[in-house]
């Protein structure tokens, strides 16, 4: 692996410490210093300082005071509410005012129930309420139409 400029500087610092402690002679120090400044890989640097004490090793980053809690112990977020179920309920509630929203309420209610079974989302009650309101509105409209037909004949 290629050595960085910082790695070469660290090796040169080790050589300086070895020279100042008397572990290296002047000629050997200068020779190793020249080779360290031209070194391209970690292997070349480690050969130059292998017989010298390395000094303190860089300290790793401090760990947090409180260790990270594994995800298995964190509370699981509640499943989200199905959007089609919400839409079914809204359309069902708006049916008495607008009338035409009964059909989307029924369609969205059936769609939501299928999605909830498949994905495990919440909103089963909302989908059922939208279905009931939609079918009641459709039944009421059909009963009115049937009553008008029977009364007119």
Could you please report the per-residue DSSP string of 82-145? PHHHHHHHHHHHHHHHHSTTHHHHHHHHHHHHHHHHHH--B-HHHHHHHHHHHHHHHHHHHHHH
Residue 110 has pLDDT above 90, yes or no: yes
DSSP-derived letter for residue 71 is: G
Instruction: Say what percent of the chain tops pLDDT 70.
Output: 88
**CA 19 – CA 37 distance, rounded (Å):** 16
CB atoms within 10 A of CB 32: 21
Question: Helices 124-152 & 83-98, crossing angle to 10 degrees?
Answer: 30
**CA 125 – CA 122 distance, rounded (Å):** 8
**CA 62 – CA 13 distance, rounded (Å):** 24
Q: What is the pTM of this model?
A: 0.50
Of 84, 149, 87, 90, nearest to 121 by C-alpha is 84
CA 114 and chain centroid, separation? 27
For the ranges 1-10, 72-81, 143-152, the maximum mean pLDDT occurs at 143-152
3-62 residue pLDDT tens? 888 889 988 998 998 888 888 899 999 999 999 989 888 888 888 888 887 755 455 666
């Amino acid at each position: 692996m290629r050595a960085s400029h910082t790695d070469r500087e660290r090796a040169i610092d080790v050589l300086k410490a070895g020279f100042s402690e008397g572990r290296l002679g002047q000629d050997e120090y200068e020779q190793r210093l020249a080779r360290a400044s031209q070194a391209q890989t970690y292997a070349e640097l480690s050969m130059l300082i292998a017989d010298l004490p390395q000094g303190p090793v860089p300290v790793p980053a401090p760990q947090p005071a409180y260790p990270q809690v594994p995800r298995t112990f964190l509370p699981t977020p509640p499943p989200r509410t199905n959007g089609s179920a919400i839409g079914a309920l809204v359309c069902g509630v708006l049916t008495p005012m607008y009338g035409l929203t009964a059909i989307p309420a029924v369609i969205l209610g059936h769609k939501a129930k299928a999605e909830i079974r498949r994905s495990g989302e919440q909103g089963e009650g909302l989908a059922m309420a939208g279905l009931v309101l939609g079918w009641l509105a459709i039944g009421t409209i059909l009963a009115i139409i049937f009553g008008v037909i029977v009364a007119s004949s």
